[in-house]
């Protein structure tokens, strides 16, 4: 609820902030926390809720405060909410009209509960009726538990004096309410079992089932105690006491009253304690008579001044060692003990944390960390106290008692022994062991009462010192991180100030502490303009969630340069305006990355350069073939021009015209060949366009054809006529095809027997042959059309490949030719891979080599 409250405030949701404030108080009351502490919490809540002017919620807290004040005995009497500041009837008179029904309903439930506890049953019943009419509004409130529980107890209290009609109605009501409580108890016994059981006990009482009633009272008391419900334990004891008193079982009744009284005392309900004392004065004498009272000496019997002083001394210590010393001194001194031990949990086991001895003049306390051994104290006694969480006095340990057989008791024969638990909210915080070997009956009830009060304060203080120590340790750890200066850390606020910064941060930016911490340079001033928006987004996150996930930004150094950093931040608990940020210097990483980018760029340039060089070299190898290729149309052109002239002389214009068109066609053909060569030889940066691969293949085949003819190689093409367009660099892909063709021709030129054949083919395929289906279908849209790649194959009937070194073919400078450079395949592969495709070699089916490359269709979408 407190987290809800904080989150709501941070998010600016005041409505829910207010709701959670009153829910905190509700929870603490339900848990039976010390009334004093609940009051303080309610004051804080009320203050906030009033400031936000949420009147209905304010009145819910006001009603809860009335309950607390009444129980504490601060109102005019236990039977009324009024005091100097509050008037019950005026308040009740305005619970109508536009007032929130939930608030009104909760008020009547609080009143029902208060009047039941004060014993004003008729008023409690009237309040229950008023609440009932409004229950529809409050079905999600946990106070419903109070309604069912206290209404049932009220009716049970009034039952015996009611009319027969009423009794029938009330019996129904009681069963109904018990059923509701049973359902809850089954759902979650720790919270509801004691309430359900107590109502069951009351029902058993009314139905005359005395034995059941006794068992159920006992069970209700135990369940309440086990779960730390001190108020409900008190009430269960009180009802049990009345039950026994009515039946003349006085001793038991007294014991129940005494326990009830002690519960109310521990809860801080002095008003209720006073009422018990007035109603049952006989209890006190009874208590005083008991020789081994566990609990019970009235507070009044004690020297209150001494108790307060001791209690304050213990409460004031926040350092554990000092607290232990103070506690031991006071305990040993005031109890009249000779020796005292303090046993505290240490991880899983119990250890003796301190030993005190009365010296000649004063008490000596020694802190230690010793294990609990049978030679230090009576083992069985210690375990009994741990188990029952009750104090034990052995008045005369040398006489026969339940611990006589204990090794320590047998050997040491201590005179008086007192062992008492330090308990906070049903949790054992430690055990205090005191002994006096000189005299029996040293630990009187009066001393015990005083020690028990001291013990409950000590339990709280021990817990506090533990929390304080944890806090200190945590802080030390954080300090270590800040001071280690392995990263920059600074404390900021949303106004833009840097409140504190460590050396690493200052060093990174080149500023002195005075420069930034004085407020002269806030974190916004240290941020270049283009990073401010990013910072503001982080601020939004901080406001909404309390943290800003790490992100990269830049700071301005004192010398004006930029510092690239990774920064993350969080607000402090309970503050939305202030927090801490860590800053990691990314300069090194940025430098390395720039370096890497530069290297990549250089590599890419070198590759393009190399591709160009090899292309030109290849073209160079083809000079004679190309010259031949160009010569052909030129020769034809000369012939056709001659023919044209002749036809003109013969005045045959028709034939002359035909020859002239042939001249033009020849000229174009020669021009095209030159154009293609120029394109291939051009040094151009890689550039991707949609291209028709078949067309690109045809152009290269035209270039290589005369080289093939020269080597008596038959060059055949088999191009699929429905290839999709490919996004790629035409020149580079043509270079690949040209390389493969020339390699084929070169391989075939050595063949002396059989045909010299070279085939080029293209087709659409699904996936790259040899790769898994899965990969082929990765792109779902393509999986539907099925075709994912264009496959180009160049096969020859040459001598074939050495299958062992097949992968080395693609290594740079691998060649088997005397004039070879060994770059052709290496460059071809890198070109194909730059197009997200693959190039590979296998043996041809019948004979020779097969080179294939596959390019993805629409690969740019896969990237
Ligand atoms: P180069 O042609 O300069 O040697 P490549 O990288 O183009 O460089 O070829 C590397 C090697 O691969 C060649 O030297 C040859 O041994 C082998 N090779 C390439 N194509 C074929 C082929 N069609 N048949 C047999 N071997 C081939």
Q: Average the pLDDT over each of 37-46, 422-431, 512-521 and give the range with the smallest value.
A: 512-521
Name the residue of 743, 805, 847 whose CB sits within 8 Å of the most ligand 1 atoms, as the mutation to test its pocket.
Answer: 743
Provide the pLDDT for residue 288: 37
Q: 781 falls in which pLDDT band (50, 70, 90)?
A: low
Provide the pLDDT for residue 770: 61
**Kind plus residue range of the DSSP H or E element containing 464:** helix 445-484
Place of tokens 């073939």: 625
Which token pair is 435? 């002994």
Q: Does the CB atom of residue 414 touch ligand 1 within 6 A? A: no
- pLDDT over 60 (residue 786): yes
Ligand 1 centroid to residue 800 C-alpha, Å: 10
Q: Does the CB atom of residue 713 touch ligand 1 within 6 A? A: no
Ligand 1 centroid to residue 606 C-alpha, Å: 23
* Ligand 1 atom nearest residue 794's Cα: 23
Q: 131 falls in which pLDDT band (50, 70, 90)?
A: very high
* Ligand 1 atom nearest residue 739's Cα: 7
Ligand 1 centroid to residue 804 C-alpha, Å: 14
* Ligand 1 atom nearest residue 823's Cα: 6
Ligand 1 centroid to residue 795 C-alpha, Å: 13
* Ligand 1 atom nearest residue 827's Cα: 6
More confident residue, 599 or 59: 59
* Ligand 1 atom nearest residue 740's Cα: 20
To the nearest whole percent, how much of the chain has pLDDT over 70? 94
Q: 397 falls in which pLDDT band (50, 70, 90)?
A: low
Say how far apart CA 60 and CA 102 lie, in whole Å: 9
* Ligand 1 atom nearest residue 826's Cα: 6
* Ligand 1 atom nearest residue 798's Cα: 24
CB 704 within 8 A of CB 738: yes
Say how far apart CA 159 and CA 207 lie, in whole Å: 11
For ligand 1, atom 14, name the residue with the nearest CA: 815
For ligand 1, atom 21, name the residue with the nearest CA: 743
| Helical spans, DSSP H, in 650-801 | 653-681, 693-710, 730-749, 773-776, 780-785
- pLDDT over 70 (residue 20): yes
Say how far apart CA 776 and CA 395 lie, in whole Å: 91
Burial class from Cβ neighbours inside 10 Å (0-12, 13-18, 19+) for residue 608 reads: middle
Q: Does the CB atom of residue 404 touch ligand 1 within 6 A? A: no
Ligand 1 centroid to residue 747 C-alpha, Å: 8
Ligand 1 centroid to residue 797 C-alpha, Å: 14
* Ligand 1 atom nearest residue 815's Cα: 14
Q: Largest alpha-carbon pair distance within the chain? A: 159
Provide the pLDDT for residue 297: 38
| pLDDT tens per residue, range 174-204 | 999 999 999 999 999 999 999 999 999 999 9
| pLDDT tens per residue, range 440-452 | 777 777 777 778 8
Length in residues, the chain: 863
Strand partners, 77: 80
* Ligand 1 atom nearest residue 743's Cα: 20
Mean pLDDT score of the chain, rounded to an integer? 87
Kindly list the strands in the beta sheet with 498-501, ordered across the sheet, starting from the edge strand earlier in the chain.
498-501, 488-493, 578-585, 562-571, 547-556
Q: Does the CB atom of residue 747 touch ligand 1 within 6 A? A: yes
Cα dihedral value 639, 642, 647, 650, nearest 10: -140
* Ligand 1 atom nearest residue 819's Cα: 3
| pLDDT tens per residue, range 317-344 | 778 888 898 889 888 887 778 899 999 9
Q: List Cβ neighbours of 121 (8 Å cut-off, separation of 6 or more).
A: 115, 154, 157, 158
Q: Does the CB atom of residue 847 touch ligand 1 within 6 A? A: no
CB 742 within 8 A of CB 704: yes
- pLDDT over 70 (residue 125): yes
Q: 305 falls in which pLDDT band (50, 70, 90)?
A: low
Question: What would the mean pLDDT of 838-843 be, rounded to a whole number?
Answer: 90
| pLDDT tens per residue, range 139-174 | 999 999 999 999 999 999 999 999 999 999 999 999
Q: 67 falls in which pLDDT band (50, 70, 90)?
A: very high
| Residue-by-residue DSSP string for 552-596 | EEEEE-TTS-EEEEEEEEEEPTT-SSEEEEEEEE-HHHHHHHHHH
The CA distances from residue 647 to 125, 534, 643, 665, in Å, are 134, 83, 6, 18
Provide the pLDDT for residue 616: 82
**Kind plus residue range of the DSSP H or E element containing 223:** helix 210-226
Question: What would the mean pLDDT of 736-756 be, rounded to a whole number?
Answer: 91
For ligand 1, atom 7, name the residue with the nearest CA: 824
Helices (runs of H) and strands (runs of E) counted in the chain: 31, 18
| pLDDT tens per residue, range 801-815 | 887 778 789 988 888
Cα dihedral value 269, 273, 279, 284, nearest 10: 170
- pLDDT over 90 (residue 391): no
**Most trustworthy range by pLDDT among 443-452, 628-637, 707-716:** 707-716
Determine how β-strand 714-719 pairs with β-strand 757-765. parallel
| pLDDT tens per residue, range 274-300 | 898 888 766 544 443 332 323 333 444
- pLDDT over 80 (residue 681): no
Q: Does the CB atom of residue 825 touch ligand 1 within 6 A? A: yes
Ligand 1 centroid to residue 408 C-alpha, Å: 98
Name the residue of 739, 757, 825 whose CB sits within 8 Å of the most ligand 1 atoms, as the mutation to test its pocket.
Answer: 825
Place of tokens 């008729």: 122
For ligand 1, atom 16, name the residue with the nearest CA: 816
Ligand 1 centroid to residue 798 C-alpha, Å: 12
Strand partners, 358: 363
Q: Does the CB atom of residue 739 touch ligand 1 within 6 A? A: yes
Ligand 1 centroid to residue 739 C-alpha, Å: 9
Ligand 1 centroid to residue 741 C-alpha, Å: 11
- pLDDT over 80 (residue 124): yes
Say how far apart CA 431 and CA 667 lie, in whole Å: 114
Question: What would the mean pLDDT of 754-782 be, rounded to a whole number?
Answer: 71
Q: Does the CB atom of residue 822 touch ligand 1 within 6 A? A: yes
Q: List Cβ neighbours of 281 (8 Å cut-off, separation of 6 or more).
A: none
Ligand 1 centroid to residue 635 C-alpha, Å: 35
More confident residue, 774 or 231: 231
Provide the pLDDT for residue 676: 76
Provide the pLDDT for residue 777: 44
Ligand 1 centroid to residue 602 C-alpha, Å: 28
Q: Does the CB atom of residue 759 touch ligand 1 within 6 A? A: no
Provide the pLDDT for residue 336: 79
Say how far apart CA 292 and CA 250 lie, in whole Å: 19
Q: Does the CB atom of residue 617 touch ligand 1 within 6 A? A: no
Provide the pLDDT for residue 192: 97
Ligand 1 centroid to residue 823 C-alpha, Å: 9
Provide the pLDDT for residue 138: 93
Q: Does the CB atom of residue 796 touch ligand 1 within 6 A? A: yes
Q: Does the CB atom of residue 849 touch ligand 1 within 6 A? A: yes
For ligand 1, atom 18, name the residue with the nearest CA: 743
The model carries a pTM of: 0.40
CB 684 within 8 A of CB 691: no
For ligand 1, atom 4, name the residue with the nearest CA: 815
Say how far apart CA 75 and CA 70 lie, in whole Å: 5
Say how far apart CA 711 and CA 31 lie, in whole Å: 102
Q: Does the CB atom of residue 801 touch ligand 1 within 6 A? A: yes
Which token pair is 58? 């304010």
Ligand 1 centroid to residue 205 C-alpha, Å: 107
Provide the pLDDT for residue 409: 83
**Most trustworthy range by pLDDT among 104-113, 386-395, 519-528, 710-719:** 104-113
Ligand 1 centroid to residue 673 C-alpha, Å: 26
Q: Does the CB atom of residue 809 touch ligand 1 within 6 A? A: yes
**Kind plus residue range of the DSSP H or E element containing 393:** strand 392-394
Output DSSP code: residue 809. Answer: G
Q: Does the CB atom of residue 717 touch ligand 1 within 6 A? A: no
Provide the pLDDT for residue 306: 67
Q: Average the pLDDT over each of 444-448, 472-476, 513-517, 554-558 and give the range with the smallest value.
A: 444-448
For ligand 1, atom 26, name the residue with the nearest CA: 801
Q: 752 falls in which pLDDT band (50, 70, 90)?
A: confident
Q: 64 falls in which pLDDT band (50, 70, 90)?
A: very high
Provide the pLDDT for residue 303: 59
To the nearest whole percent, how much of the chain has pLDDT over 90? 48
Q: Does the CB atom of residue 816 touch ligand 1 within 6 A? A: yes
Q: Does the CB atom of residue 743 touch ligand 1 within 6 A? A: yes
- pLDDT over 70 (residue 860): no
Ligand 1 centroid to residue 824 C-alpha, Å: 8
Long-range contacts of residues 309-317, Cβ cutoff 8 Å, at least 24 apart: 310/334, 310/450, 310/454, 311/453, 311/454, 311/457, 314/454, 314/457, 314/458, 314/461, 315/457, 315/460, 315/461, 317/461, 317/465
Ligand 1 centroid to residue 31 C-alpha, Å: 87
Q: Does the CB atom of residue 820 touch ligand 1 within 6 A? A: yes
Ligand 1 centroid to residue 850 C-alpha, Å: 12
| pLDDT tens per residue, range 349-381 | 889 999 999 877 778 899 998 999 888 899 888
Q: 693 falls in which pLDDT band (50, 70, 90)?
A: very high
Q: Does the CB atom of residue 757 touch ligand 1 within 6 A? A: no
Q: Does the CB atom of residue 814 touch ligand 1 within 6 A? A: yes
Which token pair is 230? 């001190």
Ligand 1 centroid to residue 819 C-alpha, Å: 11
CB 235 within 8 A of CB 272: no
Q: List Cβ neighbours of 272 (8 Å cut-off, separation of 6 or more).
A: 71, 73, 78, 117, 118, 234, 264
For ligand 1, atom 11, name the residue with the nearest CA: 815
């Amino acid at each position: 609820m407190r987290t809800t409250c904080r989150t709501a405030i941070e998010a600016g949701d005041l409505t829910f902030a207010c709701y959670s404030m009153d829910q905190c108080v509700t929870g603490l009351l339900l848990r039976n926390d010390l009334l004093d502490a609940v009051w303080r919490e309610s004051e804080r809540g009320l203050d906030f809720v009033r400031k936000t002017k949420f009147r209905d919620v304010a009145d819910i807290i006001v009603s809860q405060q009335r309950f607390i004040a009444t129980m504490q005995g601060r109102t005019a009497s236990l039977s009324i909410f009024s005091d100097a500041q509050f008037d019950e009837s005026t308040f009740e008179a305005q619970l109508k009209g536009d007032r929130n029904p939930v608030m009104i309903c909760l008020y009547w439930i609080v009143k029902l509960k208060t009047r039941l506890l004060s014993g004003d049953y008729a008023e409690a019943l009237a309040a229950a009726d008023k609440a009932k009419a409004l229950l529809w509004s409050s079905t999600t409130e946990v106070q419903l538990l109070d309604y069912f529980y206290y209404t049932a107890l009220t009716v049970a209290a009034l039952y015996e004096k009611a009319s027969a009609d009423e009794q029938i109605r009330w019996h129904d009501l009681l069963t109904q309410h018990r059923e509701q409580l049973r359902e809850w108890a089954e759902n979650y016994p720790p919270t509801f079992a004691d309430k359900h059981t107590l109502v069951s006990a009351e029902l058993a009482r009314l139905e005359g089932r005395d034995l059941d009633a006794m068992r159920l009272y006992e069970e209700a008391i135990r369940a309440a105690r086990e779960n730390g419900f001190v108020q409900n334990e008190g009430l269960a004891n009180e009802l049990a006491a009345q039950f026994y008193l009515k039946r003349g079982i006085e001793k038991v009744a007294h014991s129940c009253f005494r326990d009830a009284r002690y519960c109310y005392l521990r809860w801080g309900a002095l008003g209720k304690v006073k009422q018990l004392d007035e109603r049952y004065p006989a209890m006190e004498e009874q208590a005083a008579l008991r020789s081994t009272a566990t609990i019970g000496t009235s507070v009044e019997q004690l020297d209150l001044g001494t108790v307060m002083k001791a209690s304050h001394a213990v409460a004031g210590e926040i350092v554990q060692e000092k607290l232990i010393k103070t506690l031991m001194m006071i305990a040993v001194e005031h109890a009249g003990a000779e020796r005292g031990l303090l046993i505290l949990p240490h991880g899983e086991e119990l250890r003796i944390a301190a030993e005190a001895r009365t010296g000649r003049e004063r008490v000596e306390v020694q802190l230690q960390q010793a294990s609990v051994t049978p030679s230090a104290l009576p083992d069985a006694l210690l375990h009994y106290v741990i188990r029952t969480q009750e104090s034990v006095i052995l008045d005369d340990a040398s006489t026969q008692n339940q611990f006589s057989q204990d090794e320590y008791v047998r050997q040491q024969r201590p005179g008086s022994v007192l062992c008492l638990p330090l308990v906070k909210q049903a949790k054992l915080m430690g055990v205090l062991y005191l002994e006096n070997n000189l005299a029996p009956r040293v630990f009187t009830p009066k001393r015990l009462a005083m020690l028990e009060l001291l013990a409950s304060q000590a339990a709280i203080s021990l817990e506090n010192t533990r929390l304080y120590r944890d806090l200190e340790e945590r802080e030390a750890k954080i300090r270590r991180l800040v001071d280690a200066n392995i990263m920059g850390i600074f404390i900021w606020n949303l106004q833009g100030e840097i409140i504190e910064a460590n050396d690493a941060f200052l060093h990174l930016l080149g500023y002195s502490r005075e420069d930034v911490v004085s407020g002269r340079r806030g974190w916004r001033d240290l941020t270049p303009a283009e990073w401010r928006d990013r910072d503001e987004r982080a601020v939004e996150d901080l406001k909404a969630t309390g943290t800003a996930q790490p992100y990269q930004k830049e700071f301005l150094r004192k010398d004006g340069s930029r510092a690239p950093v990774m920064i993350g931040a969080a607000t402090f608990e309970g503050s939305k305006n202030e927090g801490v940020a860590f800053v990691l210097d990314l300069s090194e990483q940025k430098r390395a990355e720039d370096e890497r980018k530069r290297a990549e760029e250089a590599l890419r340039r070198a590759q393009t350069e190399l591709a160009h060089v090899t292309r030109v070299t290849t073209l160079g190898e083809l000079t004679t073939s190309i010259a031949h290729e160009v010569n052909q149309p030129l020769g034809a052109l000369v012939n056709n021009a001659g023919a044209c002239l002749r036809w003109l002389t013969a005045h045959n214009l028709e034939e002359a015209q035909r020859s002239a068109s042939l001249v033009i066609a020849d000229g174009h053909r020669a021009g095209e060949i030159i154009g293609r060569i120029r394109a291939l030889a051009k040094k151009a940066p890689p550039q991707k366009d949609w291209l028709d691969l078949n067309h690109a293949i045809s152009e290269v085949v035209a270039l290589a054809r005369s080289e093939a003819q020269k080597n008596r190689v038959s060059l055949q093409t088999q191009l699929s006529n429905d290839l999709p367009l490919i996004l790629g660099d035409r020149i580079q892909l043509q270079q690949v095809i040209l390389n493969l063709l020339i390699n084929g021709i070169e391989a075939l030129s050595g063949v002396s027997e059989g045909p010299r054949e070279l085939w080029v083919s293209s087709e659409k395929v699904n996936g790259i042959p040899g790769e898994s289906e899965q990969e082929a279908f990765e792109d779902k849209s393509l999986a539907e059309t099925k075709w994912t790649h264009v496959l180009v194959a160049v096969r020859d009937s040459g001598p074939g490949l050495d299958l062992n070194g097949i992968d080395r073919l693609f290594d740079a400078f691998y060649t088997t030719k005397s004039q070879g450079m060994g770059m052709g395949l290496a460059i071809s592969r890198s070109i194909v891979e730059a197009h997200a495709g693959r190039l590979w070699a296998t043996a041809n089916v019948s004979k020779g080599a097969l080179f294939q490359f596959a390019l993805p269709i629409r690969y740019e979408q896969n990237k």
